[in-house]
Structure 1
Amino acid sequence: MPLIQATRYYANTTKNQKTVEYTVDKFPGYVRHDHFKKLSKEDVEFFKSVVGDNGYIYNNEDDLFPFNTDWMNKFRGKSQLVLKPKTTQQVSDILKYCNEQKLAVVPQGGNTGLVGGSVPVFDEIVLSLQAMNKIRGFDSVSGILTADAGCVLEVLDNWLAEKGYMMPLDLGAKGSCHIGGNIATNAGGLRLLRYGSLHGTVLGLEVVLADGTVLDNMSTLRKDNTGYDLKQLFIGSEGTIGVITGVSILTPHRSKAVNVAMLGLNSFEDVQKAFKQSRSELSEILSAFEFWDINALQMFKKHATPKAVMEQEYPFYVLIETSGSNKDHDDEKLTNYLEKMMTDGVAQDGVVAQDETQIRSLWSLREGFTEAMGKEPAVYKYDISMPVNKIYECVQDMRQHLKDGGVYGQEDSPVTDVVAYGHVGDGNLHLNIAAKRLDPKTSSLIEPYLFEWVAKHQGSISAEHGLGVAKNEFLGYSKSPVMIQLMKTTKNMLDPNHILNPYKVISNF
């Protein structure tokens, strides 16, 4: 397995397909596994018989490009075939054939991932779930939704809104990402503090295994204590042991009263104080607690022209959202909390959204950092988790480490900024290192230094983006040898020919 340190960056999104390098050209150490069969015309004819004339794309570079390339142009594969099944049975027929013929397959949802997990490395067949986008059912008493894996997250959320419910997760990519992909990567996002992870809200899954076997575990029960909870294997597995085709998920009531406030603070210690107090004062109505530093705000302003929210700038900001059923009650609790923060000197300034437009405006600032970073020439991007009190220590340590290494802090330095934002409620830091260009010295200074730092402080090298090809070689920093071996044993058992999403997460070759 080659080192791929330089892949944790965002290339400029304005590039066209002629300027996006193939993954295997950038990292020639990757070798196509020779036991995989090359696609033949006979194979294509079989797949055509399964999905029909409109259910595939074959040998058309322009049409294949968006399926071969991740949305930030970091990775690009060489697949010659995209299949778009409409039913679980079609997925089963496809995988059964691929397993028998040893044709490698990459399951793909909305292709909004950041670690190269949903695009080919070589010529793997892309199995797109975008045509499997039907809502199967909804129980308005229990709030349990069943749907195809290809349903777009925002579409589901809007559909549920008409019934007074909402999806239990919210992401910046909600307009494109698929619920099946969310589950396959165990996406976290902005609502985890209130509603927990997908390991808790997903009640059942329909999964097609590598040999075409359909595992029908579409349970709508909240309590089922009969043996192994098999669905948990596939949550976060990134399509390496099965293809999720259906989901049963518990959805909460949509809040009748939503408030959003933003505070300016002088230190990360104050951010922690504000969070601790929010858990006490706001308790059951607290739904989000986000933070960012002044570097993130300045990066946003560099690429956008937001309206001024506060009269002056502060070293840190937090965005707090409450959601409940009684507006007067929630308003009073939030007001008391904000007054205490100001009186105690924890917060230096604050604003409260007065209507839905202002709520969207404040959230657009927090959600706009990723897009702003993507407009930089290059960005090394990391998604890590650790104890909350260590979050900004990690950022400061990285800045100093890059300065000591001679790549940051001078006018001609390749690194231009180190930006931090994330979810304080679950210890999730999004660390972004903006640069003028990709630089081998910078890459070698960041990795594995950052992962060693995270491991030393009992953190995870991937909080919510997964491993894909970007982090698979560093799995040992978060999992023990015994755990990794058990993961490989599971892979060998469920996918003995290794046709599902090869070169990702773990490698048994």
Structure 2
Amino acid sequence: MTITHPVAQLTAEAYPKVKRNPDFKVLDSADLAYFRSILSNDEIINSQAPEELASFNQDWMKKYRGQSNLILLPNSTDKVSKIMKYCNDKKLAVVPQGGNTDLVGASVPVFDEIVLSLRNMNKVRDFDPVSGTFKCDAGVIMRDAHKFLHDHDHIFPLDLPSRNNCQVGGVVSTNAGGLNFLRYGSLHGNVLGLEVVLPNGEIISNINALRKDNTGYDLKQLFIGAEGTIGVITGVSIVAAAKPKALNAVFFGIEDFDTVQKLFVKAKSELSEILSAFEFMDRGSIECTIEYLTDLPFPLENQHNFYVLIETSGSNKRHDDEKLTAFLKDTIDSKLISEGMMAKDKADYDRLWTWRKSVPTACNSYGGMYKYDMSLQLKDLYSVSAAVTERLNAAGLIGDAPKPIVKSCGYGHVGDGNIHLNIAVREFTKQIEDLLEPFVYEYIASKKGSISAEHGIGFHKRGKLHYTRSDIEIRFMKDIKHHYDPNGILNPYKYI
């Protein structure tokens, strides 16, 4: 039986060493009166609606839960500015929140911080089909951004399994990487400009920035990946890519990770300009997904230790399919792969991607999940998963039962050296956590990797930057935080 945890333990109780900052004011009736003076009833949720409050207080993984009694949902940048100025003057702590699909506890309160939701700022501001420049409010859901651009023969240069819930401002604030990083690169390269409200209420904007502008510091880069700790992103300008005229995918079964690497080298060489994604999944992650997708037939006949999904996108379907067919035939003839399936049509293509996109949710449905995302050199990419699996197995936690206490699942983006390590568990325990941490971080540090490839730091990885960053880099980050937010009211207890 699948065990679920609909309500997480209060973060303050689960982590008693983290103390509420006594300098922060406790919300009172005068504060509520002020917010009511600038916001409509539809822009405020308080303790009179406890069920609605609960959804903003708990993270997607059901691991962290705050105690906020006030959710503010302003519908304009001007209102965000007034909220931040007031909170800064009164020293009321604030947590900016997008779609709340964050995976490191960055978008929910730890104590009683006010939640500032961007949900009501959800308008497309402008689109230029000549340059591909797309401007929107921060609260636009990624799914809607994709649909708008698709209707205008373009695509948003980022895609995530959480696209139905995550918001554009949120993915920029966390510098999400996603499934098409290999083709379109990071948000640091695709975001042209931002509109940001600073903690003191000032509005800084370069949302009308050009593709090339070499005048002074590129300030927008500070806010990309800052997780709402130095400003609230309210508007985004981003370069949309032209919509591919042809998409296809192939799904492989492979026996070892060395072969995964060889296949990647071959794909880069032979598919080159049309290669848009190269995703891998290990046996554990696919076994979880098979249990989860009970009504969807698995595309391959046999079990394998690793699986790879390759996507191509280009401008000529006949040309692309010929290249992919030749690539598939050659990999089979050379015995580089054990088994493979190429999508015959759009329905097949969607089904193959379902097996990759469903992995995170499938792992989470196991009961609970310890989730890590890391960057490593490609030769070391899967070694962290193997090391953690060996450690859990030695403790007798994995075993051979049909549904053991712990299941180790490794998957990720080979093209950018990013592995997601999910430890699916029936319940969160101190024993499992002690086996994982700090072992995972120490292992990554020993390989000169990054403890966060795309999920960020948040609450989960607070105090752990030293595994990846030098003392001087951390000092610079703290200086930036203090400069922009001297009262420390924005997303406290996290990041640095």
TM-score category, normalised to shorter length:
over 0.9
State whether structure 2 residue 481 is matched by structure 1 residue 491. yes
* AA at the equivalent of 2:29: K
The corresponding residue for 2:340 is: 350
Aligned match of 1:219 in 183, 208, 211? 208
Change (3 A) 1:249 1:424: same
- Are 2:363 and 2:409, in contact at CA under 8 Å, matched by a contact in 1? no
Measure the CA separation in 1 of the matches of 2:4 and 2:66: 17
Displacement of 1:407 in angstroms is: 3.5
Q: 1:318 to 1:411 in 2, by over 3 A?
A: closer
Contact kept in structure 2, 1:12 and 1:72, CA below 8 Å = no
CA contact (8 A) 1:88 1:245 kept: yes
> Corresponding residue for 1:4?
none
**Quick one: structure 1 residues 274 and 413, their matched pair in 2 at CA, closer, same or farther if it must change by over 3 Å?**
closer
The counterpart of 2:272, out of the listed 257, 274, 283, is 283
The answer to whether the 8 Å contact 2:376/2:449 transfers is yes
Find the residue that maps to 1:103 and give its secondary structure: coil
Q: Is the 8 A contact 1:96 1:212 kept in 2?
A: yes
Whole-angstrom CA distance in 2 between matches of 1:68 and 1:164: 38
Cα distance, 1:400 vs. partner?
1.5
Cα distance, 1:411 vs. partner?
5.5
Deviation at 1:406, TM superposition (A): 4.1
Note the alpha carbon deviations across 1:46-81, whole angstroms, 9 max, x for none. Answer: 111111222101113212111111122111111111
> What does 1:58-207 align with in structure 2 at a 5 Å threshold?
58-59=46-47, 60-207=49-196
Any idea what SS the aligned residue of 1:71 has?
A: coil
Q: Give the distance between the partners of 2:387 and 2:286, measured in 1 at CA.
A: 20
SS in 1 for 2:154: coil
| Aligned ranges 1:15-34 → 2 under 5 Å | 15=6, 19-34=7-22
- Determine if contact 1:91/1:208 at 8 Å carries over to the other structure: yes
Using the alignment, how far apart are the partners of 2:401 and 2:343 within structure 1? 39
Q: Could you tell me which runs of 5 or more consecutive residues in structure 1 were left unpaired when the two chains were aligned.
A: 1-10
> TM-score of the superposition, structure 2-length normalised?
0.97
Cα pair 2:183 2:277 within 8 Å, conserved:
yes
The equivalent of 1:7 in structure 2 is none
Greater CA drift, 306-315 or 168-177: 306-315
1:29 CA displacement: 1.5
Alpha-carbon separation, structure 2, partners of 1:173 and 1:378: 18
SS at 1:54 equivalent: helix
User: Quick one: distance in 1 between partners of 2:338 and 2:403?
Assistant: 34
Structure 2: give runs of 5+ residues left out of the alignment. none
Q: CA deviation at 1:497?
A: 0.3
Structure 1 pair 467–12 and aligned structure 2 pair: CA distance change class (3 A): farther
Question: 1:117-164 CA distances to partner (integer Å, 9 max, x unpaired)?
Answer: 000001100000000001000000000001000000010100111110
1:145–1:249: 8 Å Cα contact kept in structure 2?
yes
Q: 1:223 to 1:489 in 2, by over 3 A?
A: same
Work out the number of aligned pairs and report it: 493
- Residue 374 of structure 2 contacts residue 451 of structure 2 at CA under 8 Å; is this kept in 1? yes
Q: 2:230 aligns with which of 212, 226, 241?
A: 241
**Equivalent residue for 1:468?**
458
Look up the equivalent residue of 2:456 and give its one-letter code: G
Report the CA distance between 1:256 and its aligned residue.
0.4
Q: Which residue of 2 aligns with 1:228?
A: 217
**Relative to structure 2, which stretch is displaced further, 341-350 or 123-132?**
341-350
1:40 aligned residue: 28
Find 2:394's aligned residue among 377, 393, 404: 404
After TM superposition, where is structure 1 displaced by more than 4 Å over at least 4 residues in a row?
11-14, 410-415
Pick from 470, 476, 480: which aligns with 2:470? 480
Tell me how far apart the structure 2 counterparts of residues 451 and 292 of structure 1 sit (CA, whole Å): 21
Q: Does structure 1 residue 54 correspond to structure 2 residue 42?
A: yes
Following TM superposition, by how much is the alpha carbon of 1:320 offset from its aligned partner in structure 2, in angstroms?
A: 0.5
Q: Distance in 2 between matches of 1:468 and 1:237?
A: 10
> Which one is further off, 370-379 or 220-229?
370-379
Change in Cα spacing, 1:408 to 1:310, as seen in structure 2 (3 Å) is: closer
Is contact 1:407-1:413 (8 Å) kept? no
Match of 1:8 in 2: none
Instruction: Verify the 8 A CA contact 1:130 1:150 in the aligned structure 2.
Output: yes
Contact kept in structure 2, 1:110 and 1:178, CA below 8 Å: yes
Which region of structure 1 is more displaced relative to structure 2, 237-246 or 411-420?
411-420
RMSD after superposition: 1.5
- Provide, for residues 295-324 of structure 1, a one-character-per-residue CA deviation record: whole Å limited to 9, x for no partner: 111111222222131221211110000000
Say whether the 8 Å CA contact 1:144–1:220 is kept in structure 2: no
Residue aligning to 1:320: 310
Describe the shift of the 1:110–1:413 C-alpha distance in structure 2 as closer, same or farther (beyond 3 A): closer
Q: Distance in 2 between matches of 1:488 and 1:227?
A: 22
CA–CA distance in structure 2, aligned partners of residues 176 and 487 of structure 1: 30
| Preserved CA contact (<8 Å) 2:98 2:167 | yes
